[in-house]
Amino acid sequence: MIPDGPDVSADAVLASCPDAIVAVDARMRVAVWNAAAERLFGWSAAETLGRPAPIVPGELLAEEHAVLERTRAGEPVSVLTRRLRRDGTAVDVRVDTGPLRTADGAPAGWLQVFRRDADHGELRSHAAERARLVRRLTDVAADINADLDLGAVLDRIARSLTELTGADAGGFALIEGDRLRLVSLSGLSEHLKGYTAPLESSLFGELLRSGRSVLLATDDTRSLDDLIWADLDGLHTIALGVSSVQGRPYGALYALYSGRRVGHVELELLELLAAHAGVALGNAMAYQEMVRRRAKEHAVVESSADGIAVLDGEGRVRKWNRAAAELTGVPAARAAGRPPPFPLPEGEGASVRHRLPGGRWLEILVTGISGTEERVVDFRDVTQAKELEEEKDLFMATAGHELRTPVTVVQGFAGTLVRRWEQLDDAARKDAVRTIAERSSVLARLVENLLLGSAAGGDLRVGAEAFDLRRLLEEAAGAFSSFSPRHTLCLEASEPLPAALGDPVATDVILGQLLENAFKYSPDGGRVRLRAGVDGGRLVVDVEDEGVGIAPGDEERIFGRFVQGEAGDRRRFGGIGLGLYIVRRLARAQGGDVTASARALGTRMRLTLHSAPPVGGPEAGGAGEGGVSVPGGLRPEPDEGPDQGC
């Protein structure tokens, strides 16, 4: 430091110095820019002070960083290099760089002295050496980029590090959250691989906080004994550089020296290698992500319940997933290279439905893949939906037909009463009102079935209480005993009959529907038998008729929505096909069931219910001495009720 005096000042010395002098602070901002620097580079002090110096060519930034880092140990560094002038030309200079310190000795930045270089021989030698190093670095970069497996790339980087920088050992540490993990190494014991350490207190953490790309640590400035790298005997210097992927720090290259001393050239090579390593890692990670994404897409496509096909620009199948093969019956090997076995929608976003030869309905959609001529075809099985649509159409037609008749009758007789009330006698009026009442009852039952059928599509809520099943049976038999003059209704029930556990209202609906069907599907008359007893610990009620019976194989089909037992003659029997669907849902909601079976003549419908737990004696819960429990079927004794003579 030159003290100011009456005749000489530090500013005067700087202004008079024939060499260009530039001082930068710890953040690389210009603090001093003398007159010789203005003359050499063309920028004035006003244009450079407080800003990074604009004189370092981009291809020499790594060299500059290496030189500055090397001087942090207190050793001045002199290099022959090239710098930029304001007019865009380059000038060959020798740069002497040393540390800049405050009055108390703390690091404050760097001081650089620039001189024009006139020794072209030395310059040519320097350029030749740089060209050799660049070729060597290019070969190393090509080597580490020769593999796309992430683990293999990391191993190549560690090997290339010692080869290029002359380090005795090295390694690559990966950032994982707030820790570092050693993932590859060279010249060190394999047991160190996988070692982790806190990022914050590591040399890498110090490097990241400094904002620089390289860091040099020596045993002259700090202790290296507490680091994992102390595994290397004679360790005296650690150099490390940041490897970034897509602009974010990903890991650090560590070069370890136990023999030779480290110069700025090694630091420059380390920084350049770290940059190339970041590129190689980015490529490997991108490839790994692509493989992972393709594997995920493959898993999604293969596990999809929809058929998925990928077509090329000519409409031929390139991809055919498992569901596609199952839905169409065409295996992937036979589908590949051919058009799909169904028509495609005319435009993107449209859909088309197609029926396959086997009767299955497909809904097909097509979407184009952006940037290619390929298209993705998604198709799914809509057979059930198609059948439901047909059932709904049939339901609407049938319901309209069934409702029209009683409504027309009620409307006609009501109109007659309004228009001709005075002309009709009492008997005619009563007949008209009776007809209106009867048809209104039919209409009410139809509406009730519609409502119950709608509710049965979801969860039915029924009660769970003990009730007198015998009383319900007697009331039902009494209500239907005069239902038809061509039929005879017989009630046969065990005596006494245990109490049932369930919902008496729901059970009454079930009994009414089963008896109505028994009369309805035996149009020629005959005997309808209503039997009840105990079978296998459960209450069983059978309704048997001598009617048209059930076609073989239809024992379950008749419990579907909008289905009738005699499907081929709907007009003959009428109805909307919801009755049995409703009664089964009501029975199962109580923990019971309704099943159907064919007889030699007619049909047997069986309702099963839980019996209520015994409360007192046999009258309350058991079958009693008169009860019948026969595994093969019910054989109750005749009941002394409205069915005498059955």
Residue 551's φ and ψ, nearest 5 degrees, are: -65, 145
pLDDT band (50, 70, 90) for residue 628: very low
d(CA 334, CA 414): 69
pLDDT score, position 500:
93
Residue 610, pLDDT > 60, answer yes
Residue 364's φ and ψ, nearest 5 degrees, are: -120, 130
pLDDT band (50, 70, 90) for residue 630: very low
pLDDT score, position 609:
95
pLDDT band (50, 70, 90) for residue 645: very low
Mean pLDDT value across residues 321-340: 89
The tokens describing 432, both together, are 């008209």
Per the DSSP assignment, residues forming a β-bridge with 367 are 376
Listing DSSP states for 534-565 in one string gives EETTEEEEEEE--SS---TT-TTGGGSTT--T
Cβ proximity of 185 and 171 under 8 Å:
yes
pLDDT score, position 63:
75
Cβ proximity of 253 and 270 under 8 Å:
yes
Residue 565, pLDDT > 70, answer no
pLDDT score, position 631:
31
pLDDT score, position 572:
47
Lowest mean pLDDT among 565-569, 614-618, 622-626: 622-626
Spatial CB neighbours of 65, under 8 Å, sequence gap ≥ 6 = 212, 213, 214, 267, 268, 271
Cβ proximity of 432 and 417 under 8 Å:
yes
Burial classification of residue 550, based on how many CB atoms lie within 10 Å of its CB (0-12 exposed, 13-18 middle, 19 or more buried): buried
Report the first-to-last Cα separation within the chain, whole angstroms: 133
pLDDT band (50, 70, 90) for residue 626: very low
pLDDT score, position 61:
79
Give the CA-trace dihedral at 41, 47, 49, 51, to 10 degrees: -90
Per the DSSP assignment, residues forming a β-bridge with 361 are 355
Pairing of strands 375-381, 248-257: unpaired
d(CA 570, CA 562): 11
pLDDT band (50, 70, 90) for residue 595: very high
Cis peptide, bond prior to residue 631, ω within 30 of zero = no
Cβ proximity of 576 and 446 under 8 Å:
yes
Spatial CB neighbours of 317, under 8 Å, sequence gap ≥ 6 = 309, 310, 311, 335, 336, 337, 338, 339, 340
Residue type, position 61, single letter = L
Of residues 427 and 606, which shows the higher confidence score?
606
Of residues 195 and 66, which shows the higher confidence score?
195
Considering the chain, what percentage of its residues have pLDDT values greater than 90?
14
Considering the chain, what percentage of its residues have pLDDT values greater than 70?
78
Burial classification of residue 32, based on how many CB atoms lie within 10 Å of its CB (0-12 exposed, 13-18 middle, 19 or more buried): buried
d(CA 423, CA 421): 6
The tokens describing 409, both together, are 């009758």
Listing DSSP states for 495-544 in one string gives SSPPPEEE-HHHHHHHHHHHHHHHHHT-TT-EEEEEEEEEETTEEEEEEE
d(CA 77, CA 381): 77
Tell me the HSE value of 468 on the side-chain side, using a 13 A CA sphere. 9
Residue 603, pLDDT > 90, answer yes
Residue 427, pLDDT > 80, answer yes
> Degrees (nearest 5) of the Cα angle 530, 608, 471?
50
Output helix, strand, coil percentages for the chain, rounded to the nearest 5. Answer: 40, 25, 35
The predicted-structure confidence for 14-55, as pLDDT tens digits, reads as follows 888 888 999 999 888 999 999 989 989 999 999 999 999 999
Mean pLDDT value across residues 314-328: 89
Structural domains present in the chain: 10-118 (3.30.450.20), 129-289 (3.30.450.40), 312-381 (no CATH), 385-455 (1.10.287.130), 465-611 (3.30.565.10)
pLDDT band (50, 70, 90) for residue 114: very high
Which of these, 373, 313, 318, lies nearest to 340 by C-alpha position?
318
Which of these, 280, 334, 342, lies nearest to 150 by C-alpha position?
280
pLDDT score, position 29:
92
- Which span out of 360-369, 473-482, 601-610 was modeled with the highest average pLDDT? 601-610
The predicted-structure confidence for 265-319, as pLDDT tens digits, reads as follows 777 777 777 777 777 777 777 777 777 777 776 777 777 778 888 888 888 998 8
The predicted-structure confidence for 455-505, as pLDDT tens digits, reads as follows 545 555 677 899 999 998 988 888 777 777 888 999 998 878 999 999 887
For 559, other C-beta atoms within 10 Å of its C-beta total 18
